[in-house]
Structure 1
Amino acid sequence: MLRSGSRSTAPVSWSLRSAVPALWSLTLTVMLLGPLLTSRGYLLLRDAVSTPRSHPTDSALGLTDAAARAVPQDAALAWLSTVVDGGVAVIAILTLSVWAAGCGAARLVAVLLPTAGTPARLVAVTVAIWNPYVTERLLQGHWSLLAGYAALPWTVCAATAIRRGDHRGWWWLASCLAAAGLTPTGALLAAVTALAVLVAPGGVPRRAARTAGAFVSAVVASSPWIVATILAGGGTDADPAGVRAFAARAEPGLGTLGSLAGLGGIWNGDAVPASRSTGWALVGTALLLIVVVCGLPQLWRRRRNPVLGAVAVLAAVAIAGPALGATGPGLALGEWAMTHVPGSGLLRDTQKWVAWAMPLYVLAAAAGIGAVRHRARSSMPVRADAGWAVAAILAVLVALPDAAWGVGGRVTPVQYPAAWGTVAEIVDTQSGDVAVLPAGMFRRFAFSGPAPVLDPAPRMLRADVLQTGTLVVAGGTVDGEGGRAREVEELLLAGADPSELAARGVGWVLVEHGTPGDLGDSRRTLELLDPVFEDGSLGLYRVDGPWVRESPPRGPAVAAHLLWLLLLAGGAAGALLPRRRQGRPPVLGAAREQP
């Protein structure tokens, strides 16, 4: 009876132990995103814009002269918001991304450090979620970039499975690349990670075959923004001033290299937790690095594993590259690239590539638990592991004490005034594009809080909203790529005749009240237009046609988005199919690199 009972409880015990990292990841996610999960509203903070409904405009498909930076993100939200509120969709994707980052870290430890127990995996989860990179990108509004960040440990696991001959790894890899491909940056992060692991020597199938397969998958995952750029040419020219404006930044008590090594150093000093703007940045970085450094000797002993070698190289590039990019020669090289290399504007925010350091950091943090216990020569290794894990987790949490509850309450949902919904119902897609006043892309509304926010009009309205892409950074400006939008903006500020706006495809002028910005002599133009709606929040004016506007064909762009969706859904479905009994190791769980 006792033996039979033991057999029956063993699977349950194993399931509970395997669920602990996922539950801890969920706990940290709720601690981090609490205000978004407990209050109704929309994420509207700096670059993050969610609206009740968004639409598949040319801008959403990347078919304008501005860079396709939010492709396929905006089109995906346009489709999702037809069945679910857009604010719910954004918060759900963000929550899933943060949770998946923690679960992926635990899975990565299980794959590459199979002897590490649950305590070590819990430390890995904590490092993956509770760090400056996540909080700073959250404060900057880069919620979709965190999807690419979350995909990195899963991408390493999938590429490792491919190296070990498990064909389901290809399905996992396809799904990871597509999920990361929600933004161009995420697509590049995951693609380079996959190629770095697959190009390393050893493993099966042959290196050339697996590298070619990963490259093709990466191109398919990136096809929405690649096709949009080819069709519209947006973002092929970038302002060299952006190199200095978006260079990695040194935090108090730390040089640029130290800030990057601590997974911080974002260019915007206002988009950082309060603790990272004081001397605590030095203390917090030291605590995080101590947890990580303790495990580096253990990883060094496994240096013959080519996957670990690839992960280590990525981490070195992730930290050293942006640090060098912030030096005089690095800035000069970046400015040259902006002028002479089409599409290099995608690289100008150098600190975002620090995400590549995360897989190594979580592995080292997990390996450190066993290393510390070994050095302490504990006679009770299981309890010792738990004790050291608790200490490491507390150190990581204390290193960033104000990450909790929306980074100190700074990431909270907002509610749009009723006027926004009214204007969204009025503007149609048959009467030209929308020009917006005041000039500029960023706003400071009373309902959105003290931080600047990206104008929500392009996501809220059914017609295309013209945006120049010009950014005000540290007292200067970085020119955007929106040539037609800039021309229309100059006409409005000069008080031009409405016929000149119509000749450039403008059918509406939206005035957003209560936010700073240049209005110039636009009143002269507005007096010649028909007011359609006016209240304390917004004013909408009609520009009589005919409207002259040309746009690239939408068919190829829509096809590219559908191909991306197919890769995402097909990869996920294939990865979840039952594994054939071939005596191979599980798709993400073999213990050692095979020759």
Structure 2
Amino acid sequence: MVRPVSLRSVVPVVYSLALAVAVLGPLVFSPGYLLLRDAVSTPRSFPTDSALGITDAAARAVPQDALLAVVTVVVDGGVAVTVLLMAALWAAGWGAARLVATLLPGRTSGLPAQLVAATVAVWNPYVAERLLQGHWSLLVGYAALPWVVCATVAVRGGQRGGWWALAAWLAAAGLTPTGAVLAAITALALLAAPGGTTWRWPRIAGGTALSVVASMPWLVATAVSGGGSDADPAGVAAFAARAEPLLGTLGSLAGLGGIWNADAVPGSRATPWALVGTVALLIVVACGLPALWRRREPVTVTLAVLAVVAVLAPALAATAVGLRAGEWSMLHVPGAGLLRDTQKWVALALPLYVLSAGAGIGGLRARFGGRDAVWATAAVLVVLVATPDLVWGVGGRVRPVQYPAGWRQVAGIVTADDGDVAVLPAGMFRRFEYSGRAAVLDPAPRMLRADVLQTGQLVVAGGAVAGEGRRAADVETLLLAGADPGELAARGVGWVLVEHGTPGELGESQRTLDGLERVHGDAELSLYRVPGASRQPADRDAAVAAHVLWALLLGGGAAGGLAVRLRGQARAAREQT
């Protein structure tokens, strides 16, 4: 006999899905591909060296790109990215509701509190800004945090399935390096907190081991290739948290906003409404703080410490002293480039925010009377109005695009056997008519089956931040100087792709192109073959093994957790008969 599913457990799931659809409607209901700033989805992706993170550029998109290379063999890449992004926002809301049900006692963890928590998790400036910046895979790591907390609570209490769940959610968060670090910090902080029925040091050791395995793709890629070991100090100031109108940097971060790119914010955050919305969100969150303070349980205290650090540390990093310290770390600390976008770390405040927002419903009832449902409805409306333009693709700005037919034709011609691909115009960002006004990452690296050489240079307000792609920079310099094609071939370049209709430097490259065979040409793209290219293939074994370990952690954790759950339900059914 299977226990019936309760309304209390189903409603947060459906409600969270509805919120996710409300945010991502343009992607869900229209065909096409997400192409917005850092987000690039393509019909197919391929397991290139770049996808495995073993080029001289930093391994920022592993195992994300390798996963898409596998998935898009059977599923269109536009559908795959939309499904993953939908799952992320859905999981964020559902996980917030589960966190409230797990940590709050009795009536205070009821359905109204869970729905408020789910709303705060999905509907806030952090989600809006990261969507507009194109950080869809970072939102997967963000969404995993409430589930990581629930899993660590299960581990601390010696519950069956706790370790399996923790393994799965750490791996899910590890879709990007930042997500892996966010989840590892959260898990290890909670496993190290006092209390619980299990021994502290064994659980810390277990959490550390799982975190390392979840991070293996980017750790191994960085060790093998050395990419990202020499980050440009100029990136510290360029990617520092930014003050929004009437808020200051600290206020912006406390309101889960303050991304470095002023163009990647919803319209309401560029007006005095940023102050109104932040105050509204913080009032909803603050309502539950007295109740959490009275309980002061180790898990809750740890989440509070993480939230304070998550807000204060990026604010301090944006000060003169913090900027100097960050510049020093870029020069002397290997891998410090991962830290330079400081606002992204405010995600660590999410578990406390959703827990406190949920606890606030019971606090308001106890102080002012009334029904939980009434207070919850008011809180939900306040949170929605605080970021009003998050709805429907952040005011329609997150929407699918269609690639011109030439991209598919070029993708069918280029093969990895004939060498790598150099691109023109110079740079790695594009402005196509079909992609809208925002600059977008060049889709070529994910569209083609050969490695596309990219310098990694980022053009930001106030200047440029140098990238790590030294070989790509060398090839780009040769192209702009109009070098002999033989010099490109000697550096392993077998193709030159010219992308028309986008601004960028071309230099004297036409001299080089005149000496090459054009194998494709249309209004959008021209592809040239470079004869005689030869390139020593990279050793992929370690990187592939690291990705396999990550996949086993994700799949094994999910399967193990499901098996434990099914056995528990079967045992409960036998006891009732």
- TM-score, normalised by the number of residues in structure 2: 0.97
Alignment of 1:227-266 (within 5 A): 227-266=220-259
Which amino acid in structure 2 is aligned with residue 152 of structure 1? Answer: L
Separation of aligned partners in 2, 1:392 and 1:353: 25
Alignment of 1:47-66 (within 5 A): 47-66=38-57
Which position in structure 1 is the counterpart of 2:512? 525
Alignment of 1:321-360 (within 5 A): 321-360=313-352
- In structure 2, runs of 5+ residues without a counterpart are 573-577
Separation of aligned partners in 2, 1:488 and 1:11: 64
Give the drift of 1:75. 0.4
Whether 1:199 aligns to 2:165 is no
SS in 1 for 2:421: strand
Give the drift of 1:580. 8.9
Give the drift of 1:104. 0.2
1:476 to 457, 463, 481: 463
Alignment of 1:82-481 (within 5 A): 82-115=73-106, 116-303=109-296, 305-378=297-370, 384-481=371-468
Whether 1:557 aligns to 2:549 is no
Which position in structure 2 is the counterpart of 1:72? 63
Which position in structure 2 is the counterpart of 1:592? none
Give the drift of 1:97. 0.5
Given that residues 161 and 564 in structure 2 are in contact (C-alpha distance below 8 angstroms), is that contact kept between their aligned partners in structure 1?
Answer: no
Which amino acid in structure 2 is aligned with residue 472 of structure 1? Answer: V
Give the drift of 1:84. 0.6
Residue deviations 1:488-511 (CA, integer Å, cap 9, x gap): 000000000001101110000000
Residue deviations 1:354-382 (CA, integer Å, cap 9, x gap): 0000000001101111111111134xxxx
User: How many residues get paired?
Assistant: 569
Given that residues 64 and 551 in structure 1 are in contact (C-alpha distance below 8 angstroms), is that contact kept between their aligned partners in structure 2?
Answer: no
Residue deviations 1:467-526 (CA, integer Å, cap 9, x gap): 000000003000000000000000000000001101110000000000000001101110
Separation of aligned partners in 1, 2:51 and 2:33: 19
Given that residues 287 and 395 in structure 1 are in contact (C-alpha distance below 8 angstroms), is that contact kept between their aligned partners in structure 2?
Answer: yes
1:508 to 477, 480, 495: 495
Which position in structure 2 is the counterpart of 1:589? none
Give the drift of 1:385. 0.5
Give the drift of 1:202. 1.5
2:473 to 461, 464, 486: 486
Give the drift of 1:579. 4.6
SS in 2 for 1:74: helix
Give the drift of 1:310. 1.0
SS in 2 for 1:578: helix
Separation of aligned partners in 2, 1:31 and 1:546: 50
Give the drift of 1:556. 1.0
SS in 2 for 1:43: strand
Given that residues 63 and 551 in structure 1 are in contact (C-alpha distance below 8 angstroms), is that contact kept between their aligned partners in structure 2?
Answer: no
Give the drift of 1:73. 0.3
- TM-score, normalised by the number of residues in structure 1: 0.94
Given that residues 231 and 552 in structure 1 are in contact (C-alpha distance below 8 angstroms), is that contact kept between their aligned partners in structure 2?
Answer: no
Percent identity over the alignment is: 70
Give the drift of 1:114. 3.2
Which position in structure 1 is the counterpart of 2:575? none
Separation of aligned partners in 1, 2:263 and 2:528: 35
Give the drift of 1:204. 3.1
Give the drift of 1:577. 1.2
Give the drift of 1:390. 0.4
Which amino acid in structure 2 is aligned with residue 463 of structure 1? Answer: A
Given that residues 58 and 228 in structure 2 are in contact (C-alpha distance below 8 angstroms), is that contact kept between their aligned partners in structure 1?
Answer: yes
Q: CA RMSD for the aligned pairs?
A: 1.6
Which amino acid in structure 1 is aligned with residue 74 of structure 2? Answer: V
In 2 relative to 1, CA 581–412 (structure 1 residues): closer, same or farther, beyond 3 Å? closer
Which position in structure 2 is the counterpart of 1:590? none
Separation of aligned partners in 2, 1:511 and 1:246: 30
SS in 1 for 2:518: strand
Give the drift of 1:351. 0.2
SS in 1 for 2:558: helix
Separation of aligned partners in 2, 1:273 and 1:170: 39
Give the drift of 1:23. 1.0
SS in 1 for 2:417: coil
Separation of aligned partners in 2, 1:260 and 1:22: 28
In 2 relative to 1, CA 231–551 (structure 1 residues): closer, same or farther, beyond 3 Å? farther
Which position in structure 2 is the counterpart of 1:591? none
Give the drift of 1:546. 3.7
Which position in structure 1 is the counterpart of 2:25? 34
Whether 1:575 aligns to 2:561 is yes
Given that residues 232 and 552 in structure 1 are in contact (C-alpha distance below 8 angstroms), is that contact kept between their aligned partners in structure 2?
Answer: no
Given that residues 288 and 358 in structure 2 are in contact (C-alpha distance below 8 angstroms), is that contact kept between their aligned partners in structure 1?
Answer: yes
Separation of aligned partners in 2, 1:352 and 1:507: 38
Give the drift of 1:126. 0.3
Moved over 4 A (4+): 579-583
Give the drift of 1:551. 4.5
In 2 relative to 1, CA 167–552 (structure 1 residues): closer, same or farther, beyond 3 Å? farther
In 2 relative to 1, CA 164–582 (structure 1 residues): closer, same or farther, beyond 3 Å? farther
SS in 2 for 1:436: strand
Separation of aligned partners in 2, 1:580 and 1:55: 37
SS in 2 for 1:267: coil
Which position in structure 2 is the counterpart of 1:20? 11
SS in 2 for 1:430: helix
Give the drift of 1:15. 1.3
Given that residues 468 and 485 in structure 1 are in contact (C-alpha distance below 8 angstroms), is that contact kept between their aligned partners in structure 2?
Answer: yes
Separation of aligned partners in 2, 1:30 and 1:153: 20
